[in-house]
Amino acid sequence: MMEEQKDMLKAALGAMKQQSFTTAYKKAFSLFRADTDAWKEHVFRLRYDVYCEENLFINPDSHPDKLESDSYDDRAEHYILLHRATAKVVGTARVVLPNDEQPSQSFSVQEVCDHPLLKQDSRALTLCEISRFCMAKSFRKRELDGFLLPAYYDQDMVETKKNGHVKFIRRKIPYAPLALLAGAFESALNARITDCVWMVEPRQLWSLKKIGMNYRVLGPHIDHHGGLQPVIFNIKNVLDTMHTQKPHCWEIVSDEGRLQKMADELVQNDWQDALIDDSAQAQPADRTVL
């Protein structure tokens, strides 16, 4: 009986921690789809700051307007992470969907990675690419944060003590850009796509593992934007794993389960469609009903 009570208490504490994280995260950040020219200007300006000025991955002279954009942006869906307290754009990401007319020229990763999977038109049409995923410098306090999943500390005033000192509570949000993943996943699932390719800093691969993102590498890392590792992952597999290993992260990335349901239904429908197609092919073309 004692063990059962301990398990119940542990589950209750876990649920409270998860709810506390979700509340703190939504209080700190908002996610917006950048679907207007005004919002896209914020996207391109932040990308210029990170990729052109801060790191010189892209020649600043090629963007005299201080807005970094490329040919893939017209086929991409863009997301903005807004810091509520300051109303500042602090993060962005885009999802590039496949090019139906030229599948082998769908994604930026195809320009620099020669993995056979990316060269197959039929396979490229089932993929999307997450790219230009970055956070503002002010939200990357530590060197190891990189562009990917830096932590954020929110500080709230709670009460004044008897000695006149103000007491503060520091809430840690270990992975600030989680909502950007939620946006990327939603764009992919709306396009009936569950497999994503992404180029990330090799030293940041551990960050993906820490939040339950299983992936497979696509060949060796490449000399591009400071050195990147192409990877591929399945959204449903990621959400399933994250739900078990990092439920507080899953709560944000799945939009409290909504995107999990979309992924489950999409995979189930695709499986049923494949089953029907295989069954139809197995039937003789000319059948006589007796």
Q: What is the pLDDT of residue 14?
A: 47
CB 127 within 8 A of CB 197: yes
- The list of the chain residues with pLDDT below 50 reads 1, 5-16, 144, 156-159, 168-170, 275-276, 279-290
pLDDT in tens, 82-107: 999 899 999 999 999 999 999 999 99
* Best CATH choice for the domain 23-277 from the list 3.20.20.70, 3.30.470.20, 3.50.50.60, 3.40.630.30: 3.40.630.30
Beta bridge pairs of residue 91: 81, 135
Task: Please give the pLDDT value at position 221.
Answer: 86
Q: Output the pLDDT for position 273.
A: 59
Give the pLDDT of residue 110.
Answer: 95
Q: What is the pLDDT of residues 245-285, one digit of tens each?
A: 999 999 999 999 999 999 999 998 876 555 445 544 444 44
Q: What is the residue extent of each domain of the chain?
A: 23-277
pLDDT for position 164: 60
On average, the pLDDT of the chain sits at 83
Residue 2: the pLDDT is 54
Helix (H, G, I), strand (E, B) or coil at 34: coil
Q: Spell out the residues 6+ positions from residue 57 whose beta carbon is closer than 8 angstroms to its own.
A: 51, 225, 226
